Amino acid sequence: MKTKLLIEPHIHGCFGVDFNKAKVTEVLDVARKLLLQGVGGFFPTLVTDSIDNIRRQIDIIKQASQEQTFDCAKILGIHLEGIFINPEKKGIHNEKHFKKLTISNYKKIENDFIKIVTLAPELDVDLIEYLKEKGVKVQAGHCIGSDLSKCDGATHLYNAMKGISHREGSTALSALLDDNIYTEVIADGVHLSDEILDLTFRTKPVDKIILISDALPITYSDLKETVFADSKIYYDGIKATSKDGTIAGSTTLVPEIVKILGQKGMFHPQFIDNTYNYLGIDYLGDIEWDEDFNIISVSTLQTY
């Protein structure tokens, strides 16, 4: 089977590198390693942090994108996940850094390299319309609201959002039923059960599902613990959690997720095209897979 190179639209780091702390050289090192894994492009994702650190890391990631060479997965922009989310669904995010959803607060970190923003739409003051005018994708995440009419997508469906109830509306239910909403899905075998994936794939149009890793810095490294989003994270070989057991993110990458889904008979090639279509990404190259969803070869058209 041949598919396009994969895209990582939601990735906090891997190979021991944390995008909230990384240097330019470390971002580039991740980019090179990702391409070898079959990832053609990615959106380094910044978790909740201080305004000063977010601004610094945006500049670092943008500089790395300007120094890339042909042997790198393309740095396509930044996904900002945090500071504009709901404390009720904060996960491991540090709420001391949260800000009101206002244009003035966004302008404190605004940069043309921010392409995706995860936020809580129910707390919006005047930010969503501003982001959409700027061409930034707005995704509902770490939230409880059911009105997603102004959103382009939903961040890691079911996780860190108000779940499905048979008596009232919720974020997850709206994201599942609204055919205009793209939905990120972490199909790593930890974040979502096979049953909920089956329900999602039966309910959601196949062209609106986005595979993401939500990978942590601990992914594909020798680390068994690390500090992420101001919290100590522990990896037991299966999942990464905070001390209280809150799942912090994934320890897989999208190529491995494709393999997991493929071996369960749940993968559809359209899932890969969806990310390209949603984010307006040009063709980057191809992957050849064997019948067990192992990568045979990677070909790229990367130019910088």
- Six-digit token string for 144: 């409880």
Residue 282: active-site member: no
**pLDDT per residue over 135-175, tens digit each?**
999 999 999 999 999 999 999 999 999 999 999 999 999 99
Contact 171, 148 (CB under 8 A): yes
Q: Is 288 helix (H, G, I), strand (E, B) or coil?
A: strand
Cα dihedral 181→215→124→131 (10° resolution): -70
**Residue 99 CB partners (closer than 8 Å, separation 6+):** 83, 84, 105, 108
**pLDDT per residue over 20-57, tens digit each?**
999 999 999 999 999 999 999 999 999 999 999 999 99
**pLDDT per residue over 178-206, tens digit each?**
999 999 999 999 999 999 999 999 999 99
Alpha-carbon distances, residue 205 vs 53, 171, 208, 220 (angstroms): 38, 17, 6, 32
Task: Report the distance separating Cα 302 and Cα 304, nearest Å.
Answer: 7
Contact 50, 252 (CB under 8 A): no
Average pLDDT over residues 239-244: 93
When divided into structural domains, the chain yields a total of 1
Task: Report the distance separating Cα 90 and Cα 301, nearest Å.
Answer: 39
**pLDDT per residue over 265-280, tens digit each?**
999 999 999 999 999 9
Residue numbers of the domain that contains 205: 2-300
Among candidate residues 18, 152, 188, 214, the one labeled active-site is 214
Task: Report the distance separating Cα 108 and Cα 55, nearest Å.
Answer: 8
Contact 228, 92 (CB under 8 A): yes
CATH of the domain at 267: 3.20.20.140
| Among candidate residues 24, 64, 26, 6, the one with its CA nearest the CA of residue 217 | 26
Task: Report the distance separating Cα 200 and Cα 271, nearest Å.
Answer: 13
Q: pTM higher than 0.75 for the full model? A: yes
**pLDDT per residue over 71-93, tens digit each?**
999 999 999 999 999 999 999 99
Task: Report the distance separating Cα 179 and Cα 168, nearest Å.
Answer: 19
Alpha-carbon distances, residue 218 vs 57, 238, 299 (angstroms): 19, 12, 27
